[in-house]
Structure 1
């Protein structure tokens, strides 16, 4: 999710058999991105593959309507967040040129841009086809992963950076004040945002975490467990309370909650430009599992 006030953790490196493309501004070229790999000694059964992680991340932030074209899953949610309004490249398209035409028409009739989300598991031929048709990167980042094999972080209570805070969790229903905080701190002020957010954020078995001072929320996070993998997102601290350890507190609590619900690993998506969030996750033991990028179609001009 975009950097700036507040951080949102929302919304492909080259190599044999992996997708790559030449970079276009405003996003950085994925060929130039450095992805730090984690230790290779992790037990394979406890860490998801890139393909499994991609499917889990998609399921944790579902579209309100979807369509399948070969290995592509088209998501539609009236434009609310990139993640819910993109084509997730879960597998190859049978005929990428024909499929791409169908994709662009499906988004055009809904008044949405045609954009793809590609991870390192994306089919390289399909990515090459997108590039040939003028698609270019608009946002890049990393899928971060941490094994909970050695036990989850201890649940924390009370202290955060010298401030006395209370940590709370709720779910699966979305608490109204949590939603208010997320919309405000994430600068989502459209009427559709308040209408659509609960349908996406509450769609799975999610838990909504909060850090409170004197009863008022100062930081929030969401954790969802799907098939033994936890997904942490919506980690935001109110601007006036940043730098006090509230994000670190909730990140540890989210991992504890995921492990309590049977997760053996945790994932998060962090955009490349959000250095603060990348440092936070790195210090918590997360390493890069894959890079990701959003690729958007150029504006098509009709000849008539």
Structure 2
């Protein structure tokens, strides 16, 4: 049911939904820099066809990232770039994260009844504070980088907070781009887990897509997070593809904050 949506198409939407502070294009590769805030905003996305040989390109990228005191990180999908992945592995790049992208056909999903979830178009300070606090990255520098990234999302973005008695129990956001919605930043406070709140939050965000005419919903989840994958499968999501990050550090590389 997702044949009309290639991995390249989905990856482009993902780029738009979380724009890096600085982006360069190099022979079909997208180089992203955000001062060490998140792997996906500080990595190379080998998204399009190349003309330069891979080893030359890798050395060029390593120089760029080393100059910024960042580790060199590549984002690799399982549809293409396997030759690149082989070279990176042989060159000492470590596998640091493995992610599953799941998708759902919204035409087969009804509007869900949900409660205690407040949704706004765009991001407000309350939502950003919850996002920063729950991820354990409360420094002003990280707060400012996250705000700049999310404020630069040009597609329609809706942010949800799950509240009770003025306490934020969870949050998430959804980005609408063309006929696809992508769910991001889904989080339930540890004190309130295993109460079905994650499902309620996902349903509220899927409702946004249905109400705005989207046909496909997608989300990303760590491949080893079996409980989350099971939850999403109950809502109709199926695995579409995998991607992973390979990283090489130098002695001066900054720590990446996710």
Aligned positions of 1:58-137 closer than 5 A: 58-94=15-51, 95-137=53-95
Change (3 A) 1:43 1:273: closer
In the alignment, what sits opposite 2:120? 170
Bigger proportion of residues as strand:
2
1:14-41 C-alpha deviation (Å, 9 max, x unpaired): xxxxxxxxxxxxxxxxxxxxxxxxxxxx
Residue 83 of structure 1: how far off its partner (Å): 1.0
Q: Secondary structure at the match of 2:194?
A: coil
Structure 1: which 5+ runs fail to align?
A: 1-41, 159-165
**Correspondence 1:275 to 2:226:** yes
Aligned positions of 1:91-240 closer than 5 A: 91-94=48-51, 95-150=53-108, 152-158=109-115, 166-172=116-122, 174-204=123-153, 205-240=156-191
1:158-213 C-alpha deviation (Å, 9 max, x unpaired): 3xxxxxxx2111122x2212111111111112322110111222322211011110
Q: Is the 8 A contact 2:169 2:188 kept in 1?
A: yes
Structure 2: which 5+ runs fail to align?
A: 253-258
Q: Secondary structure at the match of 2:107?
A: coil
Q: Secondary structure at the match of 1:168?
A: strand
Question: TM-score under structure 1 normalisation?
Answer: 0.77
Residue 80 of structure 1: how far off its partner (Å): 0.8
Q: Is the 8 A contact 2:103 2:216 kept in 1?
A: yes
Q: Is the 8 A contact 1:61 1:201 kept in 2?
A: yes
Change (3 A) 1:215 1:300: closer
Number of corresponding residues: 249
Bigger proportion of residues as helix:
2
Computed over aligned residues only, the root mean square deviation of the Cα atoms, in angstroms, reads 1.8
Residue 298 of structure 1: how far off its partner (Å): 5.1
Q: Is the 8 A contact 1:92 1:126 kept in 2?
A: no
Q: Is the 8 A contact 1:210 1:217 kept in 2?
A: yes
